[in-house]
Amino acid sequence: MNRTIRVDWPSCAARGLCAELLPERIRLDEWGFPIVEGEVTPELARLAKAAVSACPHRALRLVAAR
């Protein structure tokens, strides 16, 4: 099952750690906020979970893709 990453914008502090841990799906805009591109495939699930867990503000979550 593919998943996607959702960002809780009020909680995000634009630290950029998520993009460092999952550059295959997350890049940063000019202010440092994450832009999620595409679904998290099973091959990237472990890295996506690490990125979600490492967020210091708990602004990311992994959800089922639509």
Q: DSSP characters for 1-66?
A: --EEEEE-TTT-----HHHHH-TTTEEE-TTS-EEE-S-B-GGGHHHHHHHHHH-TT--EEEEE--
Mean pLDDT by 10 residues, the chain (66 residues): 94 96 97 96 96 96 91
| pLDDT score for 2 | 87
List the domain range (segments joined by +) for residue 9: 3-64
| pLDDT score for 14 | 96
| pLDDT score for 1 | 79
Question: pTM of the prediction?
Answer: 0.89
| pLDDT score for 64 | 93
Which CATH number is 13's domain given?
3.30.70.20
Count how many domains the chain has: 1
Q: How far lies 61's CA from each of 15, 30, 31, in Å?
A: 16, 22, 21
